[in-house]
Amino acid sequence: MLLTDGTTKQLHCLAQVQPIRDALEVVGGKWKVLVLTSIMQGSRRFREIETSIPKLNPKVLAKELKDLEEHQLIRRTVYEDDYPVRIEYTATEYAYTLKQVMLELHAWGENHRRKVFGK
């Protein structure tokens, strides 16, 4: 497998696969990129994120938020002075390093839908 930009340098397969595997560990799955997209577009509270993504189970959302926080892609802020206590999620600067990847996934997904489903 050769994943280089126009160069002839061939890297060992495992050396190429491991970073991809690491990336998929962080943002892989059905919901993580969607949750991150929602937060990056301004949805900050749990309920706002939940309603912005159809069919997303609250229990799954809670797990995905925890995972994204552990990987430093989002920040969870608790406002204890408010009643009731308010919790907001914001994307970190590090999360925005994924923006180009997310745009590429979006473009690929649109092309795939046209190719496979004719839409």
pTM here is 0.84
Q: Is-contact 41 47, C-beta < 8 A?
A: no
pLDDT of residue 42 exceeding 60, the answer is yes
74 forms bridges with which residues in the sheet?
91
Structural domains of the chain, with CATH? 13-117 (1.10.10.10)
Q: What is the DSSP secondary structure assignment for residue 3, as one 8-state letter? A: -
Stretch (H or E) spanning 64: helix 58-70
For the chain, what percent of residues have pLDDT higher than 70?
Answer: 90
Q: Which two tokens stand for residue 24?
A: 């998929």
- Decide the pairing of beta strands 74-79 and 86-91: antiparallel
Q: Is-contact 79 85, C-beta < 8 A?
A: yes
Q: What is the pLDDT of residue 4?
A: 58
pLDDT (average), residues 71-88: 94
Residues, the chain:
119
